[in-house]
Amino acid sequence: MTVTAFFGCAFTAYGPALAMFILTIAHDPVRVIILILSAFFWLLSLLLSSLLWFAVVPLKDTLAFGLVFSVLFQEAFRVLIYVLLTKADTFMKKLTENEETQIFANRHILSYVVGLGFGMMSGIFSMINVLADSVGPGTVGLMDNTPKDFFMISAALCLCMIFLNTFWGVIAFDAMDKKKWINLAFVWVSHLTVSCLTLLNQNPSVTTYAGTVVPIILITIGTTVFSFFVAGGNKSAIIECLTSPLSFRRTNVADVVIE
């Protein structure tokens, strides 16, 4: 039972992200490098959050304090990597007039790769300890009062956070490109909202899980739709993506959907 729970939760949490990586990023070395760079930036934000938590001794036991500042650091580093990549792209343009030397010709694909890097690293850190505990020796929860759905709920929330970070990256980069500060504010506020909702799970129960999972799933769906249209998506793009023979030829799904 423990091994089954481990693989079930692992594939639920990381399966879609792994598929996205293989289909849209793995074939392009530059995108792989950008993904690793973005994951490193997320780690830097976690490092600063940890240092702040360690320094402010009176608030060490207050989970909400560390959580809020962790979100703020993550979003600050999302802005920082945007500035870094924009400067790098500008520098490349000065070196040559060849458009193929740009980091990405499509800014939305760039933001998608950065967002997925943030999401995958966030998912690894949020779920790895839970997966380790799911192997055993126990099979139900970590404490006597923990519901038996703890592991699957954790996997579902991890999956949502990976998706959300990916879509937040698309929305945030577009907002900074086009100076749409309301959209950028949406990213920050929704990130804080989702993170704060997880505080309800400090005393886990069926009721708190429902109050956490349902709103987060709704926010994930809404953010997905929002980012799709921000990236220039439309109905014809979805139809083309679904009808393309992806299993018989190497086609970049991100290029088909995001124009």
H, E, C per residue of 76-104? HHHHHHHHHHHHHHHHHHHHCCCHHHCCC
Where is average pLDDT lowest: 42-46, 166-170, 199-203?
199-203
Q: Is the dihedral of CA 99, 229, 85, 250 positive or negative?
A: negative
Over the chain, what is the mean pLDDT?
Answer: 81
Question: In which band, very low, low, confident or very high, does the pLDDT at 183 lie, cut at 50, 70 and 90?
Answer: very high
| pLDDT given at position 146 | 61
Using a 10 angstrom Cβ sphere, with 0-12 exposed, 13-18 middle and 19 or more buried, the burial of residue 46 is: middle
Residue carrying the six token digits 């839970």: 130
- Model pLDDT, residue 78: 93
Residues 205, 71, 65, CA angle at the centre, nearest 5°? 65
pLDDT at residue 245 tops 70: no
Cβ count within 10 A of residue 242: 10
Record the tokens describing residue 14, joined without a space: 């990381």
CA 170 – CA 191 distance, rounded (Å):
14
The average pLDDT across 150-155 equals 85
Q: At what angle do helices 2-24 and 150-178 cross, to 10 degrees?
A: 20
Question: How many percent of the chain have pLDDT more than 90?
Answer: 36
- DSSP code, position 142: S
Decide: pTM greater than 0.85: no
pLDDT of residue 150: 79
| pLDDT(189) > 90 | yes
Is there a contact between 123 and 21 (Cβ–Cβ < 8 Å)? no
Query: Six-digit token pair at 171?
Result: 């929305």
- Among 6-15, 62-71, 163-172, the range scoring the smallest mean pLDDT is 62-71
Confidence at residue 95, expressed as pLDDT on a 0 to 100 scale: 53
pLDDT band at 247 (very low <50, low <70, confident <90, very high): very low
Give the pLDDT confidence score for residue 1 in this predicted structure: 54
pLDDT band at 246 (very low <50, low <70, confident <90, very high): very low
Measured N-to-C along each axis, helices 150-178 and 181-197 cross at an angle, to the nearest 10 degrees, of 170
